[in-house]
Structure 1
Amino acid sequence: MGRGILLTANLPQLQNLIKRDPQAYKEEFLQQWNHYNSVRQIFLINPTEHAQQFRELVTFISQVCPCYPKDTKEFPGQISTLLLENYGTLSADTRKSLVQNLVMLRNKDVITSIELLKTLFPILPRTTSSTLRTSIRKTILSDIRTANATSANHKLNRAMQAMLFGMVERGMDGEVVGDKGKLRTGAGPSSAPGTNGEDAMWAIILTKELWRKGIWTDVKPVSIIALGCFHPVMKVQSAALHFFLGSDEEKADSDDEDEETVDVMALHHRREINKKTRSGDKKLQKQLNKEKKKMHNKQKQTSVNFSAIQLLNDPQTFAEKLYDLLNRYEKRFSLDHKILIMQLLSRVMGAHKLCVLGFYTYIVKYLTHHQLRVPAILVALAQSAHDLTPPDALTPVIQKLAHEFVHPGVSSEVIAAGINAIREVCRRQPWSMEEDMLNDLIEYRKSKDKAVTAAARGLLQLFREVNPGMLKRRERGKEASMGMAAGSQPLPFGHEADAAVDIAGLALLEDHFKQLREEEGVEMNEDNEEDWGADWEVDSDEDSDSDAEDGWIAVSDDEKDLEISDSDDEEKPKNDNEPDPEARITTLAQEKILTPADFALLNELRIKAATKAVENGGGSSAKRKLAELESRQKSMAGEQEDTFVSEMDILGPRKKAKADYAERMESIAKGREGREKFGSHKGKKNKDAPSSSTNREKARNKPIMMIMGSGAVRGKKKASLRDKQRKLRAHIDKAKKARK
């Protein structure tokens, strides 16, 4: 009797005994289980009564329920239902205890990740405790990351993405009221779930975090955030817009900087100096392997994290909805929010080459030099243009830019910004420029302001490359004039160049593979080719009759006149004098499936060939080709993720403004920091040991009656008029220099 009372009163001791021998203490567990059910019924009626006892029983059963799975099969469902239905009436300690025990059940594999996350997702927006909210958020992210560590868990991902999509979609029926984006619903209380945008906001936050960590990188998370761009709540819209604009990269970079980095060179140097031991070698190798794995994971995350704008489903409809949102709530949205929508709309238009012609009519009214944040608006205008944009839609915009920004009545900074904006638009659609306006704009290259001169010269250089026929003969330059004399003309709007018959630079890759085979001593004879392509062979000759009946044509090895190009000209043998190996058409793409590594190698080979051409005096065309290839390589490596226009491209080079008195004093004080030991030690204030003042300081403070009889004062009285004039002139000159 004493042992039974002790066990029932001391739950931690009973928990320890049950884990050691579950069958021997099953009766005691069932007694506590019945007691839990009784307390739970009372707790549902009055949550404040027996709260401490209820939490202890829940913790006890969560610890030992894997020992009695049949008896406790309803326990996880009861905890989940209690959290979802009675979350508002529970105390903070009870909420925290129930969530922790539910996570414990997941760690013990009593419930699945889907069951856990279906409970945590709905209660996350309703949590008011910052500690509990952070714990739930970390639990959700870590559980999904663990489930997708080795391979993608499609079942879990589909369930969670459907739940997040529903959290965003739940409040889409509301209306935006006022500049702050308050939600007004047609029916129901304002505190109903989903009406205040908390569910949608947390759905966007979690989706963005999973995307940033490289866990979800497909179309579905992009669709969730794309739906958030049209949510009635302003903060949800803003969060979704910032995701597509890449504003979350700064946070990602700061998180990466917080991680501890290992200096590999310092490790090797320290190892050379210290005593050589086996344990030291093992520690060094362990640190090197850890750093190598970290770099590998970082490169892997960068390679699979595609651009979200490229993964948009139906980008034309998405862009039209953005424009409709911008146009409908013109008077309700603030200027900053409207600029966010403009920037995203322009990026989508530029990335997918879409035409939303109403956008250019809408943006014209913001193209004034006194408009707030006009550089960001000019950036949005430039990004929206592309080679498929009709010139008729852009010509009025360029005229408005020229009339508002480029005239003598504005400052030089405004003129430079206007010409730079016109240049960026014409870079994407040169046919939107008029010849008379172009000739007027390039005359500003004779300006005395550096920024204006650079902007006008940039516009002149652009049209020398894209359409020199619009320039006067003396302004075309040597290369453009030679090109026009040779008959080269730019393609009109709507015309395309000839279709490519081969991958650019593929001959370089073929020569590289051939050189590798020669170095290894392996000849690619016919037998090797047959062995390599054994898996790609067509059916044998025995089935040729059946193939012919089905409409297939059997190709034998004896047919040497097989056409592999759509060109009418016959392929000629390569001459030794041919300078460019890229112009040769190869069959490598028909014989081998090119992998991403092959394309990366192909780009490196093209860069080497372009570098060699520049060194051999290839001219400006070879330099431009080399710069283009290097830019493409940086983009593939993830070093240049954002290739859009920036505000600095619009503003151009700007000279530093003259500092005022406060800025000069601040700069002087900043320069004196840490230089006290180099200062003057004259006088007792700056010395380590105190001393008296100097004779010069004492002379300043002497009474006038003591110095009236001195030789200096009597000498002034006896000075000639000429000496007095010289001293006065010197005093005036010194005062003038001091004022400057």
Structure 2
Amino acid sequence: MVKRSRADFLAANLPQLQNLIKRDPKSYRDEFLQQWRHYESKLDIFKDKPDADVEQFGELITFISHVTHCYLDDCAAFPQQIVDLLSTHYQILEPDLRRTMVQALVLLRNKDLITTTSLLSLFFTLFRAKDKALRTLLHNHIVNDIKAANAKSKNNKLNKTLQNFMYTMLKDSNEIAAKKSLEVMIDLYGKGVWHDAKTVNVIAEACFSPSIKLCAPALHFFLGTNDKKEEEDDSDMDVPNLESMKHMMHVNKKKKSKKNALDKAMATVKRKERSRARAEVFNFSALHLLNDAQGFAEKLFSRLKHTTATNAFRFEVRLQMMNLVSRLIGVHKLILLSFYEYLISYLKPHQKDVTAILAYAAQASHEMVPPDALGQVVQAIADNFVWNNVSSEVVTAGLNGLREICARCPLAMSETLLQSMIEDYKNTREKGPMNAARSLLGLYREVNPEMLRKKDRGRAATVNLTGFKPAQYGEVRSEDLLAGADFLESRKKKAATEGTAEQEDGWEGWEEASDDEDSDAEDNEDDDEGEGWEDVESETAGEKGKKNTKAAQEDGWEGWEEASLDGEDSDEDEDEDEDEEKEGPDAEAATVEVETTTTVVTKVVEEGEAVPSPPKKQKLGLAAEKIFTDEDFRKLKKIQQLRAAERLSGLPATPDEDLDLDSDPDESDSDDGNADVVDVSRIMKGIKRKDDYEARLASIKDGREGKEYGSRKGKDERSSKTNREKSKKTKAFMMMVHKKSVVGKAKRSLRDKQKVLRAHIKKQKMGK
């Protein structure tokens, strides 16, 4: 046997040669050139016969791709040769050889020996190959490569080129290639690499593709159903609040009832806040990046009607289209009136997934929708779901759907229909419809108590009804001042006067002037703006009238005629003027202040002449002096919760100095979802389904854990005894005397029973 030389051994063992070349390239250059010539000969043979000696050719490609960086001059043409082979013969190549070539190109790209543009263009073309493993490999590399190219800074030139190429790939005749290109774009958007409007709008075009393989992933992208978030168990949720427990130990028994009422109202306020502020469950940013939301919604709804008429897509895909159209309407406050007419035909109890359709109807509701359009939906739900000939589950789902719609558009409900449903179901014996009706009642107690009967309004709504004015269609109400800011301002001034501790209350870093300086500055501002006008808040009505009249005559304000800003306000002011004249007939002047969002107008009635005051700058207070921090907003939220709880419970308002802002507001469940999204669970709330056999059996087994079963005779002094033992020792003889005859009758055979029956019948006949 002839012993082989080292050169022959390395020529046959390419992994060993590869390892040695990486350690010392210069020493093994001749061996590499030998393998390179071997590769070139195999390449020529492969071009003539693509199926000849595939395995050895693949080993040479893998070997050269690993050591190319060591001999850049010799291997300059190697990357382009592989690219040309794949571009020309990728459809007829063996799957293993094709995958080997792709892996070699990936390795060369990782070593920066080939440009990203040329390689990724080839990889998108390779999506057309019928090889699932290869497509997965290409997908992962494309995403990682683009992510690495945009890691330090956005590579706009590369991104623009690839996005244009992907846009053409979405229109490719090969559905698989188009789908993989779409998945790459969705994955890059999810990773925050291509988080721009162009990517979103390219994906939006896929929603109108005739292929369901492209339409469905695009719909999933906007609906957010591709996001699979792992549920993390929060162990801190079960930890009790020790501070509140200690505080409850010191509560006086006489005040316990008030404390319970306040706690109950506090829980109600927190539950309502959690329902208003829910976390995102779909891709808000993608929906907001659409160039033309109205046009996109109309085009998608037109496609939905076409697929419904032709039955082109499955019902599940049409449901996703309904969901997306409704979310677009709710998020962008769009007007698409024909969508509500389309939904009415599906709002029937026997319809498949009708609870989801109820949720979509609620999602498409907002305050800018004309009440007449939503009124038809509300009436259809009431007619089909809320009546006596359907089950309680159907009634509950209908009432919950109406509540969600009316929470977004209260004017959609008519007063007669609302009173009828509340009267029929608020005191019903079934819990589901009762709770749903009461939730609808509670909603209108807040939104518009005037639509309720007097007995249904409740104490809090009746008290607040005095100055209540329901919002009209299209009316927008904005708050001028931040609720609770006045309390923070008073606390700030109190801390400044006492000279203590902004640090104790967490108000560090506040730069403020003293109360005297603030008052002086305000007086100076008033003097400059009003030119001698005195502060109307520090004087009586008569004094204000005299001074204002005098200043008006001096400064040339005579002859001004005042027009009321609001008819109702003017009527109220006239009534107040009449009352003041009656109470003080000898008064020379009577004034009434009318506060608006920008000015304070003073009416002066003297000798039949009305003199208006000049515009006065409204005091904005602390909100205009400082940008609130997270700690400030936490305290404001706590104040608003406490005030709302006091109104609901009917308790008197707690003084400002007694408010406890040390404890954090309840934010544990503040991220249950978003108000623009109506989850099906909110429609199904209150509907309790019976468990199947497996669920009942599992519940029984869970209840048996940790318990002992069987006779405890002899284990305990008070263990039970058998009936035989009890009959022997405890029962009296007269209770047991007839037992023998009774037992005998029960143990008779059928023949004995027949004999007894015949004897009885014979005896009866003889007696007659």
TM-score, length basis structure 2 = 0.64
Distance 1:359 1:640, change over 3 A: closer
Distance 1:656 1:27, change over 3 A: closer
Residue 245 (structure 1) aligns with: 223
Alignment counterpart, residue 433 of structure 2, candidates 452, 459, 475: 452
- CA deviation profile, 1:404-431 (whole Å, cap 9, x unmatched): 1122221121122212212211111111
Distance 1:450 1:206, change over 3 A: same
Contact 1:217–1:306 (8 Å) recurs in 2 = no
* 2-structure distance, mates of 1:477, 1:522: 45
* 2-structure distance, mates of 1:115, 1:22: 29
1:392 aligns with 2:372: yes
1:67 aligns with 2:97: no
Contact 1:634–1:640 (8 Å) recurs in 2 = no
Contact 1:212–1:252 (8 Å) recurs in 2 = no
Shift of 1:363: 1.1
* 1-structure distance, mates of 2:90, 2:179: 20
By relative contact order (CA 8 Å, sep 6+), the higher-ranking structure is: 2
The within-5 A match list for 1:150-229 is 150-168=152-170, 170=171, 194-229=172-207
Alignment counterpart, residue 463 of structure 1, candidates 444, 449, 467: 444
Shift of 1:366: 0.8
* 1-structure distance, mates of 2:28, 2:647: 90
**Residue segments in structure 1 that go unaligned for 5+ positions in a row:** 171-193, 264-301, 527-557, 575-582, 683-695, 697-714, 730-740
1:645 aligns with 2:678: yes
Residue 320 (structure 2) aligns with: 340
The within-5 A match list for 1:124-523 is 124-130=127-133, 132-168=134-170, 170=171, 194-249=172-227, 251-253=228-230, 307-330=285-308, 331-332=310-311, 333-444=313-424, 445-486=426-467, 488-497=468-477, 501=480, 515=502
* 2-structure distance, mates of 1:62, 1:164: 28
* 2-structure distance, mates of 1:497, 1:652: 31
Shift of 1:63: 2.4
- CA deviation profile, 1:170-196 (whole Å, cap 9, x unmatched): 1xxxxxxxxxxxxxxxxxxxxxxx335
Shift of 1:98: 0.8
1:568 aligns with 2:599: yes
Q: Bigger radius of gyration, 1 or 2?
A: 2
Shift of 1:16: 5.3
* 2-structure distance, mates of 1:664, 1:31: 71
- CA deviation profile, 1:427-456 (whole Å, cap 9, x unmatched): 111112222212211112132211111122
Residue 609 (structure 1) aligns with: 639
Distance 1:451 1:517, change over 3 A: closer
- CA deviation profile, 1:95-146 (whole Å, cap 9, x unmatched): 121111111112212124444433333324525243x444333333333333
* 2-structure distance, mates of 1:41, 1:344: 55
* 2-structure distance, mates of 1:3, 1:614: 89
* 2-structure distance, mates of 1:506, 1:381: 38
Q: What root-mean-square deviation, in Å, do the aligned CA atoms of Structure 1 and Structure 2 show?
A: 4.7
**Equivalent residue of 2:471, what SS?**
coil
Contact 2:362–2:678 (8 Å) recurs in 1 = yes
Residue 294 (structure 1) aligns with: none
Distance 1:231 1:520, change over 3 A: closer
* 1-structure distance, mates of 2:488, 2:108: 56
Shift of 1:505: 6.7
Contact 2:374–2:412 (8 Å) recurs in 1 = yes
2:442 partner letter: Q
Distance 1:472 1:615, change over 3 A: closer
* 1-structure distance, mates of 2:473, 2:507: 51
- CA deviation profile, 1:501-535 (whole Å, cap 9, x unmatched): 56667788998899469999978599xxxxxxxxx
* 2-structure distance, mates of 1:27, 1:408: 94
Shift of 1:153: 3.8
* 2-structure distance, mates of 1:146, 1:304: 27
Q: Is the deviation greater in 11-20 or in 56-65?
A: 11-20
Shift of 1:204: 3.0
**Equivalent residue of 1:494, what SS?**
coil
Residue 48 (structure 1) aligns with: 51
Alignment counterpart, residue 78 of structure 1, candidates 81, 84, 87: 81
2:327 partner letter: R
Distance 1:355 1:614, change over 3 A: closer
Q: Is the deviation greater in 364-373 or in 134-143?
A: 134-143
1:218 partner letter: D
Contact 1:196–1:233 (8 Å) recurs in 2 = no
Shift of 1:70: 4.0
Contact 2:340–2:373 (8 Å) recurs in 1 = yes
> Alignment identity in percent?
37
Contact 1:379–1:647 (8 Å) recurs in 2 = yes
1:339 partner letter: L
1:608 partner letter: K
* 1-structure distance, mates of 2:433, 2:741: 55
TM-score, length basis structure 1 = 0.66
In the alignment of these two chains, the number of paired residues is 572
Shift of 1:15: 4.5
* 1-structure distance, mates of 2:371, 2:120: 52
1:56 partner letter: E
* 1-structure distance, mates of 2:630, 2:421: 42
2:382 partner letter: A
Shift of 1:381: 0.7
Residue 256 (structure 2) aligns with: none
**Residue segments in structure 2 that go unaligned for 5+ positions in a row:** 237-279, 497-501, 514-524, 531-595, 601-614, 655-660, 714-722, 724-732, 748-768
* 1-structure distance, mates of 2:454, 2:703: 58
Contact 2:459–2:650 (8 Å) recurs in 1 = no
Contact 2:460–2:648 (8 Å) recurs in 1 = no
Contact 1:368–1:405 (8 Å) recurs in 2 = yes
Shift of 1:724: 2.5
The within-5 A match list for 1:526-565 is none
